[in-house]
Structure formats: C-alpha cells, structure tokens
Structure 1
C-alpha cells in the first residue's frame, strides 16, 4: 500500500446521487423546523408574539426561550480559559437580548418545511437596537460598547506567553522590525450546511440524533451533558457529511433547540440550515489581528519576538474556541526556528459577530503566517536571501527532541533537508534569475516560502 495509489471505494455512490445525508433521512411522523433569527447585531427584544405564526395551517409549535428555562444545562466548554466562570453561557434561544446577527430567537415546528418557513415569517419580534462592535480593534478601545455586561472591555480571556529574557534580547539586537498582521475572517461554507434530525423513542428510552457532524462521539457527550441524561440513552449517527472543515465540530445552540423540541412534542423533527443561515449561524474562522516585533542580528539570527495577538471570538465563547489561541496560535508561534525569547500577550475578544471556532488548522495557520512573515521581513532588512535566514534559524536535526520556548516538545525534524529538497525541485537559483530578468521588464514574479 505504501507509495501506491489507492482507488477510493466510496466515490461511485456520491457521483451517482446515492449518498445519504442527514436531510435525506425520512421517519414516520417527521416534522420540519425553521428558525427565526435576529436581523440585528445587538438589540434588546421588546416584544415576541407567535400568535399569527401558530395560526398557519400545519404549524405544531413555536419554541421560545421561556419554554426552555430550567430544562437544559449550559453548553459546556472543552477548553476552559482561566476566567471561564464569569463568562456568559451560550443561549439556546435568545432571551431579552441578541448579540449577533443570526442569533436564534425562536424555533417554528410544522408538518412541512414550507409551512414552517411561512410561519417563521409571521413570528412578530420587535427590537430596540443597541450599539455594537464588529472588530477586535474597535471592541478593545476605551469606551467601546460591552457585548456582555459581565465582561466590560470585551476581553473574554487573556494569557501571557513569556520565555527567556526578551527585553535583553531586544536591547542587544542590531535590527528591530515591527509589523501589524491581519488574518481575515472566513466562512467555512461546506457544500452541505449543518443539519439535525432528532427522535426520542419512549419504548426504548433512547434519543437518536442524526447530525452532519465530524465528531459523533463527542456530540453524544455534549447532548447528554446538556440534557442531564446518561450517555447510553443517547445515540448520535453521522451519515454522509458534505464537508465540515472544523465548523461541524462544536455543539450549536440551534441543534440543542431541535433536540429539545423533539423531546417536548414527541415527534421526530428535522432541521436543515439554508445557505443564508449558514453564513451567519455557523461558526466562522480566523479573524485575528497581531502587532508583533522581531529582534535580530545583522547576520540574520532571530533573537526574540514580542507583541500582542487579539483573536475575535464573536458574540459567545463556543466549546472549543479558546483552544485556537491558547493551545495553537500561541504555542506554535516560534515555528521551526530556534527562538528562545518570547513576550506575547494573547487575548480572546468578544464582538457582536457570529462566533468563531476552529477552521482548517484551528489557529496553527495563523501562527505560521506570523512567524514566516517575520522571517521574510528580517531577510529583507539585513539583505539576505529568505532561504538563508531560514537555514540560519532552523532547529538543527540533531537537537531533537526539542523543547520550544513556547512550551511544546517537537519529537523530530530535519527542516534544512526539507528546504534543500524543495529548492532543488524548484531549481531555485534559476527561478531567482528569471525573477530578476522579469523585473527589469516591469513584470513581477513572486516567490514565497513557508513551512
């Protein structure tokens, strides 16, 4: 098998339309659910009236926050920052206030999806708009509106990453470069949006949930914790999943609402996120702003890194969101380089935006972006080729296992050999000559390196 192409066995049923996704599953008595979501990023709910919605033919129920009170536990955090006890829990349905556009306010259950959509449009919700903040830089400014009263200043958590003697390293440096970096927010947008079908069988005392999830066993634990029931009374089935990218890992409040509605009404209930919902209700990724300095010698040796990284958490801290910064971006900041001195402040910041969670690397690509750009900036400042600066700072192959200044232990690696091989495959010297020749013609050929 090693080194051989392996024919995929699952492709035929997908390309012939015979896959089975959550929305393909049909059960007797199945009802459909549609959410009413906030159109505003920050507002007080002054009125919620479901009377007209309940008069739509086929509508069975309209679930609101009042009906949930006292029946559900908070969605637990997997990675708990130091001050987690004072952080607001994630509302299953908004009660009194909404904190981001797309936050679920009510759940309409009907005999069919069309009736549920019609009724959702007739749920009357009145809002009193409140000041909002959308970016981390606006959120941490003096006098910024608080996303949550219990977190003035909008800092959800912070951690100081410190190692060695960075102050002395910066004093001894020949070169100090400061740069602001922006990792833009992204939307995972998998081909199949999120979906949930819940059914409670009283004869077996078993709750079965079909979910488009990438972690069914963990999801079962979440459901049991939130409902306060033993795990053996919960079964989670992940059928075919049309993409996830990290966004189908956490437990979402709207999924909990669907499960609760099924238990309350005694019917299987299915919800399928539409694409418009997906852009505001499913977690986003990235969205970090970093202000970093690097200290180096004229020979290109990197001595230290210091600064601050602010990560947007959105309106609520989702179960695995803090880990993106605390367990990934911060610890991986030194990368594959011998950097022994660090002084970096990590912060998770609340804003009135869709919550953020892991996406494709879960904080690692952000760290790699920062350190690799800093290496390039050093190379440009001291007049060395970017590959040479990397070679001079790589952890040597005979130093493994290697304890980094950020607290990780790398078990093995030969970074110089990997870079040499890449340069040979590229015919790097010829590529640089071509770049120089094209530049004389006013044409620009970019050459970049990252690990």
Structure 2
C-alpha cells in the first residue's frame, strides 16, 4: 500500500528555491542562442498626437541594422491587432489595440517603430535616427476628467471615453437611505500604481527547423499568450510553442500579451532568426501595464443600532489608452460584487464606469479589484464608527454576515 501523505499542517519543502538561491535560475535574458538579433522599441514621447509621418530611411542604413518595422510593415506581414478585452458587457467599447501605432498615439510610451540589429547597442543607436512627425492633441488623464462631457475623445468613432458601464443593484437602496438614522460617505481614490518586478518584461522568439514558432516569455499566462499569438499572427496554436521558464515577479502585469512583444515575435518570424528584446527599467514605467487608478464616490445608510442597511454610489476606473485582455474583470467581476465585503448589506445600488484616458494601459495588479473593494468598504465602516460613536470593532461585529448565512 502507498504510504499516506499528509499536507495539511506540514512544512512542505519548496522545489523551486535551490536553483534560484544558488544563481541557477534561467530568465529570458539568460538564454542566448547563436546568431540572435536584438530589438529596440521606438516609443511615442507624447500622450496624444496624430502621426503625420514616419521616416526610417536613416535607421535602416545604420551599422548593424537588419530590419526596421513600422505599422505598415507589420500589416504586410499579416500581423493583426491585439484582441482587446475579454468578457465585456454588451454595448461596451472594445477598440483594436495596434501592435505599432499608426494614425494616432494615445499614451506616452506607445510603440511606434521596432528596430532590429546585430547588437542591442546598434539597435538603440539606430532608433535615434527614426524621425516621427507628430501633431499634438489635447490630453485627458484622470478617470473623472475622461468621463466628463466635452473631454477630448481618444478613439476615433466613439462618442465619449466611457468604455464600459455596469450597474449592480439589489433591494431598494433609495428607500433604505430615506429611512436611515445615519448617512456617511466619502470620495476615495485608489491611485495609479506601477508594478516593478525584479525581472522586467522581455521576449525571445525564433523559428524552429520544423517551422514552429518558439517563444520565450516571462509570462503568467503561457497558454493565453499562445492563444492570443495564434489570433494576432493568423497561425494554428499547434504551430506556436510558448515557454515561461523562471519569471522574476509578475504581480498581474505579466499576464497580458503586449504589443512590443508581438512586434519582436513577428520580426523573428519574418527574418528567420532569433530576436530578443529586454525592457529597460525606465521603459517599464511607460510600457508595462499599471494598476488600479479608481475614484469611488460611495455612501452607506445606517440604522440607529449601527447596522449598515444600504450602500450606493459610483466607481470610476481608468483603463488607460486601451484594454488589456482581463483588466475589465478587476472592476466588473471582482471590485463591484465584492464591495459589501463580509458584511450583511441588504440594499445595494452602485454604478461601475470604466473609461479610456491618455495613460499607460491598466492591467490586473495584486488582487485585481479585491484590495480596492476592501479599502472602499472598510473606510466607510470606519466612518460609520465615527458618526455613531460605536467602537469600530463593534460596528464590524454587528454587521458581519451571520454564520448561519455563509
């Protein structure tokens, strides 16, 4: 008979630690195939502008340069846009997310041109020779400003920057507020933050002898990355192999497939040689998805016994210039439904509004909506304690969901 293996209450030895602690981990930049080329991404210095012209003539003639790609070049290779967001409500905006910008740039850091050269230094030097002529446009940054009437509209063909709107209701919040002994509320801001992993993003792509596309990514979603690449490149998923290897931190930001990574993979496929790109640290603050950036205007109704009877209000969330695949879920699938936290709140009426703004796209970050929901709700509970004079712990005890209702 097989001996019983106990896991609960036992100290389990982690398998991954010895290699990482002794310096034997292998990250994307540790893999160096013979003949690998190096890429550099030319990014927009402006948050909102029309692209009048792109001149890469001098860059293509620079020492060591093998290829320079613009949006038009990728289109000729059959490279499509990124797939946008998953699981949006009907009627939402879901604009195409270009691999390289053409026509307009919508945030400072958006990829415009990819330079591929024999060395990373040669690629960076040639990138300085790329000439892009911009016509600067008005910029909108914060969630409330982006949602306001008359705000500069980012995406052509849209009437506003409001990308998604969802109202969550139960019971009769209006009646509960009408009869409340106390009403407390506040504007709360969950500020935009940038994840800073020890290993920045990167990619190494090559074409195997059998024609299969081999991609090395520091990713949290290798299967999702393969599915997105198949759609973007028009390839069968079976012809794409994505390996994650060791990943030096992700925090949610390494879940999505990024436009700069797609451009590098497309270049490797076109050139038939391995191409590597490693994000620079300062570059990551512009290019890697940020987190949160939400403004909540919420209030609760309280009876004379300190019990919270209702919550209502709005939450505005910026998603940056474009949707990353699962970013809307942070607002719609987690923050909104989890606003009541562990409390018995019988009446609820909250509108969730997601907007586009001229900032780095937002992605999931460290809990993906759950920490924001906890912050907003627990702050309101503290306000109830201040207003009623009841100890904050006692307010929580009185409102906690009874054991029989779990």
TM-score interval, smaller chain: over 0.9
1:43 maps to 2:23 = no
1:88–1:128 distance in 2 versus 1, CA, 3 Å: same
Per-residue CA deviations over 1:25-52 (Å, capped at 9, x if unaligned) read 1112210000000000001111211111
Question: Match of 2:319, SS?
Answer: strand
The size of the alignment, in residue pairs, is 399
1:250 maps to 2:256 = yes
- Aligned match for 2:115, one of 108, 120, 129: 108
Q: Is the 8 A contact 1:258 1:269 kept in 2?
A: yes
Per-residue CA deviations over 1:3-46 (Å, capped at 9, x if unaligned) read 33334343333233221100111112210000000000001111
Match of 1:277 in 2: 283
Match of 1:391 in 2: 397
- Aligned match for 2:184, one of 159, 164, 177: 177
CA RMSD of superposed structures (Å): 1.4
- Aligned match for 2:147, one of 140, 151, 164: 140
Per-residue CA deviations over 1:172-197 (Å, capped at 9, x if unaligned) read 10001120000011101101110101
Per-residue CA deviations over 1:409-437 (Å, capped at 9, x if unaligned) read xxxxxxxxxxxxxxxxxxxxxxxxxxxxx
- Aligned match for 2:202, one of 195, 209, 215: 195
Question: Match of 2:231, SS?
Answer: helix
1:381 maps to 2:367 = no
Shift of 1:86: 4.5
Shift of 1:330: 0.5
Match of 1:165 in 2: 172
Question: Match of 2:175, SS?
Answer: helix
1:237–1:109 distance in 2 versus 1, CA, 3 Å: same
Q: Distance in 2 between matches of 1:259 and 1:85?
A: 30
If you compute each CA radius of gyration, which structure gives the higher value, 1 or 2?
A: 1
Q: Distance in 1 between matches of 2:88 and 2:125?
A: 42
Q: Which has the higher contact order (CA 8 A, sep 6+)?
A: 2
Match of 2:321 in 1: 315
Question: Match of 1:314, SS?
Answer: coil
1:89 maps to 2:96 = yes
Q: Is the 8 A contact 2:84 2:97 kept in 1?
A: no
Match of 1:329 in 2: 335
Residue segments in structure 2 that go unaligned for 5+ positions in a row: 1-6
Q: Distance in 2 between matches of 1:58 and 1:326?
A: 48
- Aligned match for 1:241, one of 219, 244, 247: 247
Question: Match of 1:184, SS?
Answer: strand
Match of 1:439 in 2: none
**Structure-2-length-normalised TM-score:** 0.95
Per-residue CA deviations over 1:48-85 (Å, capped at 9, x if unaligned) read 11111112111001110001226133322452322467
- Farther-moved stretch of structure 1 (343-352 vs 150-159): 150-159
**Structure-1-length-normalised TM-score:** 0.86
